Each structure stands twice: as structure tokens, then as C-alpha cells.
Amino acid sequence: MSQSHSFDKSYLEDGTGFKSWFFTHDHKRLGVMYLWAIGIFFILAAIASFLIRFEHLTPGQTIVDAQTYNVLFTLHGAVMVFLFIVPGVAASFGNFLIPLMIGARDVIFPKLNLYSFWVYCAGAIIFLIALAAPADTGWTFYTPYSIDTGANVILVTFGVFVLGFSSILTGINFIVSIHKLRAPGLTWDRLPLFCWAAYATSLLQVLATPVVGITLLLLIGERYFGLGFFDPAKGGDPVLFQHFFWFYSHPAVYIMILPAMGIISEVIPVFSRKPIFGYKAIAYSSLAIALISFLVWGHHMFVSGQSKLINIIFSVITFAVAVPTAIKVFNWLWTMYKGSIELSAAMLYSLAFIFLFTIGGLTGLFLGALAADVHLHDTYFVVAHMHYVMIGGTVFGLFSAIHFWYPKMWGKMFDEFKAKIAFVLIFIGFNIVFFPQFILGTLGMPRRYFNYSPEFATLHQISTYGTWILGIGFIIMLYALLRPISNKAEANPYKSASLEWAMPSPPPTLNFEKIPTLTASTYDYGTKLEQEA
């Protein structure tokens, strides 16, 4: 690749055909491929969820039998978690943005980055074949059911094991890149908050993922060789599986949400034209979340039979993890206070994130309280809570990013009006789907049940109708994004101060012809400095 070739052409024009993409080392192309991949898996898992909800339109069988229902919710949960939301924002926008934001020409290990993508593809193929086999354990693979079931477990867990390597390698790449490749003047206290969030996410990916990998290997050993780690008859303990599983899977919740929080920290100052409030508090709260997230896994196990003492300890620490999260929400709100707010589609998704994630977070505290959890555990309340966090949080954050960085990524402009219509439908549809589930849960409707009592029918039906509105919203959003209104985007249409906007849209392959030197914060909106510029 010649030097002029790499700076004159955009990364989208620098080579065409399958090979130029599948063998690329370019972080931006890899980010885009991750985005397409997670997008396809999101649609697949969403279709499964529409079928699940359709099944619940009436008590008893509506469209599928009980076993198919089990397969569908396993497919939905497992694909959403392992193929969409864990790699999600970190692998797609992390890859695309981190080198641009830190003033580098690529990540520090570009070949490892490509390898990581290939491992993701291999893991995804294994995983999907295994799910089609089919699997029926749900995404948590709890013992003893996962040891005894006649459905497919080993291949699914092996797929997750392979996917874990991709996650670890991406995390290592981001951590080392942020340490070693920051442009001159880009000190830690000027590092964009998305990079701080990606850094904290990467720490979790590197430190927690090996634990689930080993746990799933133990499960495979248990099924193949009857090792007895989780079998009481052999001196083992099925609850030990849950300890190991949640030691990864609770931090994994923050692998999912932290990058989305980073996006919100980038979008809100731009569309409020104000410097971010409490930069250091937001940056360090990402690290605090990463740290504390390792200490709260037992709140998933309050009714598993674990001891009262450890229940109390985990409950107390769970309340602590709310503090750094609340710090972020407070700072985002204060950033907007007296700002010159522009309600673009990206900003609307960010505002919805704050609203919905706050509901998700606060209802998480209900579940962290021991007495309330005994009543609410394994009910639809939990389903609603985790969807308010995962969709209301992560997916709305991802949608905000897709709209905000669309001009930079594709060099085109989408129709804001259509995007806003889509937002309204998605926001309303989402709340119609999931808010009734809070009520269903408090009334005692268990989750993952094929059938339900007639008294729950109305709330189930409202929830199902919501999915139809949500689906129409998704289709309009896709239409708006896939049918741009202009094929020429400005370099910086939103007047952002961050480094990625200081280059043409879409960026050239090697990003910066000359590595920039930073002399000020990238959040100087509405200040004298910005007015002079």
C-alpha cells in the first residue's frame, strides 16, 4: 500500500472486493464489518423475540409448541448476548473510533485485530450451527439441567469459548493502543470519554472472559467425563457453576453497557454545545464500575441456596455499584443544563438512553434488595429490568452512535426527519413491550414459561402489540439509514471538537497524514476557545 494511496483515498474506496475487506488490517473496515455482523445477529435474535412475543398473544399454544418455545428463547438470549451485545459497541465503534480519537493510524496490533475478527466469525459459525442443533438451556447453561439435557450443550459452549478469545484479543489491542499510541498532548486527562469507557470495557474483557471459558470447559468435561465438579453425588456443587458463570457474566453486563455510556458522553456535549460536566468523575467512574462489577456477581443467586451471609454481603456491594453509574447520569444531566440543545436523532437516542437506563438501573436496586428479590426473582420483572438496561441502555446507545458517526463512517447524510419518526416509534414501542412486564413480574408471572394463567393475558397482549410498533420503528430506521439523502457529508457536520472529525468524511485509510498534537480538551464547546476558532 503506497503512502499516497493511503491518504488520498477514503478507507471505503481503498480496495474493493471480498478479499480487500476480509483480509484488511484497517481498524475502520474491521469496525464496519463488526457492525454489519452484529447488525445481522441483532435482526436474527429480534425475529426470535417477535416469535416469542407472538406466542404469548394467548395463553397456551398460539403459534409454536413448548419445546420450540424453549429453543426460540435460547436462540434469542444466546445470540443477543454472545454474538450481538458483548462484542457490540466495543468491537464495532471501538475499532472504528479509538485510533481516530487518540490520533493514531491504526490499533497497535492490526494483524491481531484481523485475527480477532476471524475468530469471532469462526465462533459465530460454531455457535449458530450448535443453536440450530438445537439447544434449550437458555444462555446461562445452568447445571444440573445443562449436564442432563439431551439437547445440544457442548457445541454451544465451545462456540462461546471460541468467541471469548476474540473478546480477549480485542481487549488487549485496545488497552495497549490507548497506552502506547496516544498523540502528543493527548494526556490521560484529555482522553475522550468514549476511549475511557472502551478502556474499562477492555479491562473487563481481558480479566473476566477467561473465567467463563474455563467454566464452560469444566461443563464440557462434566458432560463428557462426569468429572463431578457440579454434581453433589460426587462431592461437587451445582451452585459453584453459578458462582463461576456470574463471576464473568456480571462484569459482562458492564462490557455491554460501558461503551454505550462512552457514546453518551461524546454525543451530549456536542448537541448541548457545552463542555462535559465532571470529566474526571465520568472517566474514573468507568474504572470504578469495572472494579466493583467483579464484586457483585452473587446478586444473581439470592434464591439459589447460597448462604445468608454471602447474600447480605453481595446485596450491600450491589448498592455500591449504583454510585459510579449515578455519577455519570448526574454529569450528563448537568452537561445539558443551560446548554444550547439540538434534538438531532443521535441526541434523542442519547436522551432516551438516560431515561430508560435510569429505570433499568433503579429497578436493578429492587433486585439487589434481598427481600424484594425473593419475590421478584425469575419473574418478568427481571426480564423488564434487563431489557431496560440492555436495550434501553446499550441498544439505544448503539443507535445514537450509528446516527452520530454515520457521516464520518459512510461519508453520507441520512434523513433526520425519517430517523426521528423511527426514534419515536422505537421509544414508544419499547416502553409498550417492556413496561407491562414490570407489572407482570410483580403479579408473579414467571419468566421463560411457555404457558400462563388467563389473568395475565391482557398485559401479555399489550406487550406483544408493542413489539409490532417496535418492529415498524426498526424498519423505518433501517430505511432512513440505507437510503441516504446526500452522498457527500461534510468533514464535521455537527461541529464536534473531537479528533475524528478533523479529517475528511469518510477518513483516509491511514487516518492522519501528520500525527496531530493536542493543546486543549476535546470538549471545549461554547467556550471562548471555540468561539475564537
Partner 1 sequence: MVNSNTYKQYFNIWLLLMFLTVITVGAAQFDFGSLNIPIAMLIASIKAGVVALHFMHLKYEDGMTWIFATYPIFLLFLLIAFSATDIFTRVVN
Binding site for partner 1 (CB under 8 A): 179, 207, 211, 237, 239-240, 243-244, 247, 294-295, 297-298, 305-310, 313-314
Nearer to partner 1, 89 or 296 (CB): 296
What is the C-alpha to C-alpha distance for residues 427 and 353, in angstroms, rounded to an integer?
10
Nearer to partner 1, 306 or 492 (CB): 306
Nearer to partner 1, 203 or 347 (CB): 203
**What's the min distance (Å) between Cβ of 50 and partner 1?**
38
**What's the min distance (Å) between Cβ of 312 and partner 1?**
10
What is the amino acid identity at position 153? V
Q: How many CB atoms lie within 10 A of CB 12?
A: 16
**What's the min distance (Å) between Cβ of 430 and partner 1?**
35
**What's the min distance (Å) between Cβ of 103 and partner 1?**
21
| Contact indicator for 389, 362 with CB cutoff of 8 Å | no
DSSP 82: I
DSSP H/E element including 372? helix 370-376
**What's the min distance (Å) between Cβ of 55 and partner 1?**
37
Nearer to partner 1, 44 or 291 (CB): 291
Nearer to partner 1, 164 or 298 (CB): 298
**What's the min distance (Å) between Cβ of 300 and partner 1?**
13
**What's the min distance (Å) between Cβ of 290 and partner 1?**
11
What angle separates helix 193-225 from helix 154-180, to the nearest 10 degrees?
Answer: 150
Nearer to partner 1, 41 or 245 (CB): 245
Based on the number of CB atoms within 10 Å of its own CB, is 455 exposed (0-12), middle (13-18) or buried (19 or more)?
A: exposed
What is the amino acid identity at position 309? L
Cell of 156: 454451544
Nearer to partner 1, 307 or 451 (CB): 307
| Contact indicator for 378, 446 with CB cutoff of 8 Å | yes
> What is the signed CA dihedral for 90, 96, 99, 100, rounded to 10 degrees?
-130
Matching residue, cell 436523532 = 345
Nearer to partner 1, 109 or 334 (CB): 109
| Contact indicator for 290, 258 with CB cutoff of 8 Å | yes
The DSSP line for 6-57 is: HHHSBTTTS--SHHHHHT---HHHHHHHHHHHHHHHHHHHHHHHHHHHHHTT
| Contact indicator for 241, 143 with CB cutoff of 8 Å | yes
| Contact indicator for 392, 357 with CB cutoff of 8 Å | yes
What angle separates helix 416-442 from helix 457-482, to the nearest 10 degrees?
Answer: 160
**What's the min distance (Å) between Cβ of 485 and partner 1?**
47
**What's the min distance (Å) between Cβ of 319 and partner 1?**
17
**What's the min distance (Å) between Cβ of 321 and partner 1?**
15
| Contact indicator for 241, 277 with CB cutoff of 8 Å | no
> What is the signed CA dihedral for 463, 466, 467, 471, rounded to 10 degrees?
180
What is the C-alpha to C-alpha distance for residues 265 and 305, in angstroms, rounded to an integer?
40
**What's the min distance (Å) between Cβ of 2 and partner 1?**
33
- The answer for residues whose C-beta is within 8 angstroms of residue 428's C-beta and 6 or more apart is 469, 473
Nearer to partner 1, 313 or 365 (CB): 313
What is the C-alpha to C-alpha distance for residues 316 and 296, in angstroms, rounded to an integer?
9
**What's the min distance (Å) between Cβ of 367 and partner 1?**
19
Phi, then psi, of 107 in degrees rounded to 5: -70, 170
Nearer to partner 1, 213 or 507 (CB): 213
**What's the min distance (Å) between Cβ of 206 and partner 1?**
8
Q: How many CB atoms lie within 10 A of CB 132?
A: 12
- Write out 218-230 in H/E/C secondary structure: HHHHHHHHCCCCC
Distance of CA 489 to the CA centre of its chain: 27
Nearer to partner 1, 239 or 322 (CB): 239
Nearer to partner 1, 201 or 272 (CB): 201
| Contact indicator for 314, 296 with CB cutoff of 8 Å | yes
Nearer to partner 1, 211 or 383 (CB): 211
